[in-house]
Structure 1
Amino acid sequence: MGGTGEDRVYYVISDLHIGGDEQLGDVEFLDELLEFLGRLAETDEDAELVINGDAFGLWEFTRVEGTAKFDVLESTYPQLFEQLRETGENVDITLLPGNHDHELAAYDEYVERFAEYNVDLLQSQSFTRPVGGRVIHFEHGHQHDPNNRIDDWGDPNVAPLGYYYNTLVTSRAGQLSDRGRYNWLKDVQAVTPTERVPIWLLSKYFYREMNPLLRYALLPFLLLFNVSAILAVVAGLNLVGVWSTPVEWTTSFLGQFGTAGTAIWFLLAINVTVTGLLLLVGVPLYLLRRDINKTIDRFGILETGLTVDAETSYEDAAREVLGRREETAVFCYGHTHRPRMRALDEGLMVNSGTWLKRLHRRDGVIGLLPPVFYPSYQLCAVRIAADDGSVAVEYEPIQKSSPSPEELTLTERFLTLGRKPDPNLPDRATVEGENESEATVSTPELSD
């Protein structure tokens, strides 16, 4: 292995979330990870691999305690640990705990166990590395998330709100996932932000778990809801004698088609009747719900931080860190699962993304159909290196086939025609050398 000079190249990955109860133990990107580590094992660069938090899903292990979780990881993923050993013989590997694997900071035995595989476990919240006359600041980022902030770092008994969510919800999903018509429930850990979980569950129930006969029976009603709502209003106006022309015109028009026209009229009549009843009940319920929500907001009853701003707190943290030490050029974090790069006055803030599946919400354009959560992979490593007096940051994509053909039903694929997400990685960026702090970056809008 090389030294720690300022010409060193850094490869950064994060949020692998390897391990967990039952179905959560299935690492769908294991082949790609082994290939990436194998490439580093043969590189001629003076390189260091930084695993920037949440490498392992220790919170999601609910049937073993303490360092016994390492034994489970070691026996479950022998190829991974042997590859880490081989890669660590050629490049330095630094592992930083995140929130999901915070226990790595709580037991000194973990340091010794990882050292056996040439992995340097740092039991701190952050660390820095020199590059091109400047400094890179590394941290996982969960300390800026009120649901996952760990105030007493290294305490094995610490339990922020996110801990309970993952031990009670995520781990349970891993235990139950294979009971479904399709093994989908384990993907709950890929749903971000967390408040989308209820609508995601509704979506997967409708498109995956609902009896197909019932689903296809409901489709015409749900697809025609918008039209039916308008017709229900028109039918109401006809009943009270205010405006009968649309009903008379529709009856005359459909009458030209005989039996087919009668069938269409019958279907519309059912939709209009049901929709009319829903409108009669739904409108006052909507007004009541809105008034209750306003009252709750006024009293602050639900100000628990469940809905987390995914960007502002990290930008504030980046500005503080970059401004504290003039030589710091890059604030590198993970946690949010969104590969993102932004130029600030003081330098660059860079998110290393996730190796988990990403789910992109696509709302229906018509009717009342649940949204579709379109799956994709966005595997990547962030490469940070000195480059002709500057610090260059770029994302190296790691190819993996899209899971959408197997994981989306025919109905979901039809509803997302022309709406497939295109999660491009940010473009290459540079920060000027030791005497300058100007950063230049071009970042495309990334869809969720």
Structure 2
Amino acid sequence: MADTDDDRVYYVLSDLHIGGDEQLEEAPFLDELLAFLERLETTDENAELVINGDAFGLWEITQVDGIEKFDLLEETYPRLFEQLRATGEQIPITLLPGNHDHELAAYDAYVERFAAYNVDLVQEQSTSRQLGDRTIYFEHGNQQDPNNRIEDWGSPHASPLGYYYNTLVTSRAGQVSDRGRYNWLKDVQAVTPTEWMPIWLASKYFYREMNPLLRYALVPFLLLFNISALLAILAGLDLAGIWSQPVDDATAFLGQFGIAGTAVWYLLAANIAVAGLLLLVGVPVYFLRRDITRTIDRFGILETDLTVDPAKPYDTAARDVFEECPETAIFCYGHTHRPENRRVDGRLLVNSGTWLKRLHRRDGVTGLLPPVFYPSYQLCAVRIATTDTDIVVEHQAIEKPSPSGEELTLTERLLTLGRTPNPELPEQTILEDAVAKKKEKPTDH
């Protein structure tokens, strides 16, 4: 544990995921990160920077092994390492491994290499710092995730489920991303939860990779599907001789427009035929899918094997730490990429978010169109400090323009009009009377 320093201010970052094969080398937030480090270099505060795991994407670097990955990082990001050196000359910088860069804990040589850049690499699962008479507990958070828990911490052979996913899927995506019509596959790291991966791939195929002529030919059919399904039912009633008035009225109305009305009639007829076929197939498939889903839910398969609860495991872990170390006021973690700041048993559970792109799912407003994954950035640094009696925690926003204008097609932008996400960082939180008042020095009489 670090020495007590009542006036120290802590800045916390996590989940930068810098590095990876080929297209994953791009760090679109590098300028913002350098500017933040430059600000800390010139600060008048008694500050310390804690980088709380997954600073680097070592799992996604598959071309070299071991300490050679550091050589590759130095070569690829010289400006970053020089700025770490400069900032580290002015304030302490502490680096904890996460799961994506767990190898930092597996090779002692990393400690010396980072020390050359004034970065103190702590090869442990967690660390703590004093804040007045209270304590901040830091861990990356992957140990609470069964898919990414490192059972043999510090072993170079540690390989949880997430290791295979990232070395086989994520790194491969970085290698082939530039082969697409648009370089989008490198954003695979931003897809959370992982269960959305097939939906995201289908969405990007439809809006980015599908032949434009085919996509624009399909759009009217898909947009009109809901209407066509209703018309298919009405056409069926007409053929059965049960109710013919709607079809007769529509025929008479369109007949007033000559060739244009005939064209619309054929378009509707084609949609009705497709919708009718889909309805015939879709109704039994719907009931079968619903029954299978209920069975899966009953056994809890999806909850235990595929989905990681972004809140419950960390609530439990925080309560355990608070019980074991009653002086702990803050449990600070990352990993889930979801910035948060909330109270648990009178203390604070703080997540420092991610510097990766975030993708917000917006399901289609009509028809069978795939959902749109709207991109944004939510860069932030957590600042933790004390007043005379209180602890103040604030997520400081680091502005970066939304990439939506460059990355979304016209169709995607039209489908998300009025539904663009506006992610907000947690509000500043104050733990009142969390720090004992500093005792005044007695005066001589």
- What TM bracket, shorter-length normalisation? over 0.9
Distance between the aligned counterparts of 1:414 and 1:4, measured in 2? 55
Report if the CA contact (8 A) 1:50-1:94 is conserved. Answer: yes
Distance between the aligned counterparts of 2:186 and 2:215, measured in 1? 23
Task: For residue 292 of structure 1, report the CA deviation from its aligned partner.
Answer: 3.8
- Asked if 1:429 corresponds to 2:433, the answer is no
Match of 1:209 in 2: 209
Q: How does 1:401-416 map to 2 (within 5 A)?
A: 401-416=401-416
Match of 2:219 in 1: 219
Match of 1:319 in 2: 319
| SS of equivalent to 1:305 | helix
Distance between the aligned counterparts of 1:431 and 1:293, measured in 2? 43
Q: How does 1:353-364 map to 2 (within 5 A)?
A: 353-364=353-364
CA change 1:202–1:248 in 2 (3 A) is same
Q: TM-score, normalised by structure 2?
A: 0.95
Distance between the aligned counterparts of 1:427 and 1:184, measured in 2? 32
Q: How does 1:36-115 map to 2 (within 5 A)?
A: 36-115=36-115
| SS of equivalent to 2:305 | coil
Report if the CA contact (8 A) 1:85-1:119 is conserved. Answer: yes
Q: How does 1:391-406 map to 2 (within 5 A)?
A: 391-406=391-406
Write out per-residue CA displacement over residues 119-176 of structure 1, whole angstroms, 9 at most, x where no aligned residue.
Answer: 0000111111011321111110011111101111111101111111101110000000
Report if the CA contact (8 A) 2:3-2:130 is conserved. Answer: no
Root-mean-square deviation (CA, aligned residues, Å) is: 1.6
Q: How does 1:82-231 map to 2 (within 5 A)?
A: 82-231=82-231
Task: For residue 285 of structure 1, report the CA deviation from its aligned partner.
Answer: 2.2
Q: Which amino acid aligns with 1:180?
A: G
Report if the CA contact (8 A) 1:133-1:433 is conserved. Answer: no
- Identity, in percent, stands at 73
Task: For residue 381 of structure 1, report the CA deviation from its aligned partner.
Answer: 0.2
Report if the CA contact (8 A) 1:134-1:433 is conserved. Answer: no
Task: For residue 289 of structure 1, report the CA deviation from its aligned partner.
Answer: 3.1
Q: Which amino acid aligns with 1:230?
A: L
CA change 1:42–1:4 in 2 (3 A) is farther
CA change 1:297–1:390 in 2 (3 A) is closer
Q: Which amino acid aligns with 2:283?
A: V
Distance between the aligned counterparts of 1:189 and 1:163, measured in 2? 13
Match of 2:442 in 1: none
Task: For residue 204 of structure 1, report the CA deviation from its aligned partner.
Answer: 0.6
Match of 1:377 in 2: 377
Deviates more, 1:183-192 or 1:279-288: 279-288
Deviates more, 1:240-249 or 1:410-419: 240-249
Q: Which amino acid aligns with 1:343?
A: R
Write out per-residue CA displacement over residues 343-394 of structure 1, whole angstroms, 9 at most, x where no aligned residue.
Answer: 1223010100000000111111111111111111111000000123111000
Task: For residue 338 of structure 1, report the CA deviation from its aligned partner.
Answer: 0.8
Q: Which amino acid aligns with 1:140?
A: H
- Asked if 1:7 corresponds to 2:7, the answer is yes
Match of 1:346 in 2: 346
Distance between the aligned counterparts of 1:247 and 1:300, measured in 2? 48
Match of 1:418 in 2: 418
Match of 2:441 in 1: none
Report if the CA contact (8 A) 1:322-1:346 is conserved. Answer: no
- Asked if 1:310 corresponds to 2:285, the answer is no
Q: TM-score, normalised by structure 1?
A: 0.94
Distance between the aligned counterparts of 1:295 and 1:390, measured in 2? 50
Aligned pair count reads 435
Write out per-residue CA displacement over residues 378-431 of structure 1, whole angstroms, 9 at most, x where no aligned residue.
Answer: 110000001231110001111111101100111111111111111111111011
Distance between the aligned counterparts of 1:330 and 1:291, measured in 2? 44
CA change 1:35–1:4 in 2 (3 A) is farther
Match of 2:443 in 1: none
Report if the CA contact (8 A) 2:4-2:132 is conserved. Answer: no
Match of 1:337 in 2: 337
Q: Which amino acid aligns with 1:23?
A: Q
Match of 1:445 in 2: none
Write out per-residue CA displacement over residues 233-279 of structure 1, whole angstroms, 9 at most, x where no aligned residue.
Answer: 11111111111111111111111222111111111100000110111
| Structure 2 alignment gaps of length 5 or more | 437-445
Task: For residue 323 of structure 1, report the CA deviation from its aligned partner.
Answer: 2.9
Report if the CA contact (8 A) 2:391-2:434 is conserved. Answer: no
